[in-house]
């Protein structure tokens, strides 16, 4: 499962890297560290632990940062994995705030309630928690994480549900002009609302929910992990995919993957079992075999998205269309009309439930949820301060 977690993290980092090229130039030099204020509005009385783990951009080393933003490289790991040094930072008590400093990283800010997380090191680096595995030592711990990149071009900080939906939080940034933007807050009752929606959805979606032996609801796994663990049937998306293939055997699917390049278009038609895309000259530029549910929910395998100028952008657009079930209602993609999203009976009901319960409608419920700017992301070229606000579990 380590490979899957690593792939997910690298996909998020690669996506962030793509965003970096589109960001505005920094108004002033970005400092080596910036303050991150963590506010505990969870209402929980148990201890809170915070971790800042990632890759140091100047050297490519993996490690962690302490509360002052100082970097510490991980020591060598082993086989079997060896315990990692304790990188935890004491978090604020309920109703309080704590400010730490975060360095130039691409990585994750973890937080856990009641127990410290268990991290181990292999010869290949850090073993991330893999709660889809019942034997993972972090399986019964209530925790979550945010992802961020801080570099010369500024800060990108998001709330993510790509791997799981769990302890709620919002992210924010104070810009150079003193204004603050935030995203990720749930509606009142939204945390329980997500679990209620999954329980009410037929077809195995309730099986994504993991509960501790004391009755505490810990999280809902992403549908990708649901398929991989057997919680969701492997054919859960087949009906929709089959209808897409039938439709575009006689119709054309037009993909314009770049919002700033509307003239760049690719034209898809199904031939046999392959959805081929041609450019304006009629030359075939790439093709996709009929994807299974794992490929759809993970935006990988048969919907692989390399960091190139053609296949990757087309694949990201298709991935969004499959997860939001817009490919049958709109032959021009991406469809950015939110009223069209998740309307088919066969769709990513996990993503549907999460977006329905966020205060601003934004979330990172699958890998390319940023298509059409539906992602829960804050960004600034000259950040003064970042924020992580832990919300009630209700």
Query: How far, CA to CA in Å, does 12 sit from each of 71, 106, 135, 290, 346?
Result: 22, 10, 25, 24, 26
Catalytic residues: 147, 163
Closest by CA position to 236, among listed 344, 371, 369: 344
Q: How far apart are CA 208 and CA 224, in angstroms?
A: 10
Query: How far, CA to CA in Å, does 154 sit from each of 20, 107, 176, 288, 363?
Result: 9, 14, 11, 36, 21
Closest by CA position to 15, among listed 158, 144, 125: 158
Take residue 78 and report the two structure tokens written for it: 């082993």
What DSSP line would sit under 188-237, residue for residue? TTHHHHHHHHHHTSTTTGGGGEEE-TTS-EEEEE-HHHHHHHTSS-TTTT
Take residue 27 and report the two structure tokens written for it: 């108004």
Take residue 233 and report the two structure tokens written for it: 């049937």
Q: What helix, strand, coil percent values describe the chain, rounded to 5?
A: 20, 30, 45
């Amino acid at each position: 499962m380590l490979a899957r977690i690593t792939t997910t993290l690298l996909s998020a980092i690669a996506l962030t890297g793509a965003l970096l090229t589109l960001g505005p130039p920094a108004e002033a030099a970005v400092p080596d560290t910036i303050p991150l204020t963590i506010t505990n509005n969870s209402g929980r009385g148990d201890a809170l632990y915070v971790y800042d783990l990632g890759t140091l951009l100047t050297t490519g080393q993996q490690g962690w940062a302490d509360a002052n933003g100082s970097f510490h490289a991980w020591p060598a790991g082993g086989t079997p994995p060896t315990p990692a040094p304790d990188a935890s930072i004491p978090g604020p008590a309920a109703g309080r705030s704590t400010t730490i400093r975060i360095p130039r990283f691409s990585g994750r800010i973890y937080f856990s309630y009641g127990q410290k997380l268990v991290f181990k090191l292999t010869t290949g680096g850090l073993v991330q928690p893999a709660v889809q595995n019942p034997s993972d030592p972090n399986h019964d711990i209530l925790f979550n994480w945010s992802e961020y990149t801080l570099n010369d071009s500024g800060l990108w900080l998001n709330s993510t549900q790509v791997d799981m939906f769990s302890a709620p939080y919002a992210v924010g940034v104070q810009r150079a002009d003193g204004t603050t933007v935030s995203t990720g807050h749930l509606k009142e009752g939204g945390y329980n609302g997500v679990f209620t929606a999954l329980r009410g959805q037929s077809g195995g979606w309730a099986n994504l929910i993991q509960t501790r032996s004391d009755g505490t609801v810990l999280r809902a796994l992403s549908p990708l992990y649901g398929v991989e663990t057997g919680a969701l049937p492997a054919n859960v998306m087949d009906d929709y995919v089959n209808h897409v293939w039938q439709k575009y055997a006689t119709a054309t699917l037009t993909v314009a993957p770049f919002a700033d390049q509307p003239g760049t278009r690719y034209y898809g038609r199904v031939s046999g079992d392959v959805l081929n895309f041609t450019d304006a000259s009629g030359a075939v530029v790439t093709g996709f075999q009929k994807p299974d549910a794992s490929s759809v929910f993970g935006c990988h395998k048969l919907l692989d998205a390399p960091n190139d100028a053609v296949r990757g952008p087309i694949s990201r657009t298709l991935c969004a269309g499959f997860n939001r079930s817009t490919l049958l209602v709109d032959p021009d993609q991406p469809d950015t009309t939110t009223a069209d999203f998740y309307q088919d009976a066969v769709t990513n009901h996990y993503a549907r439930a999460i977006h329905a319960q966020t205060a601003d409608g934004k979330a990172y419920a699958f890998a390319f949820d940023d298509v059409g700017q539906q992602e829960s992301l804050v960004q600034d070229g000259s950040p003064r301060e970042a924020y992580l606000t832990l919300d009630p579990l209700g």
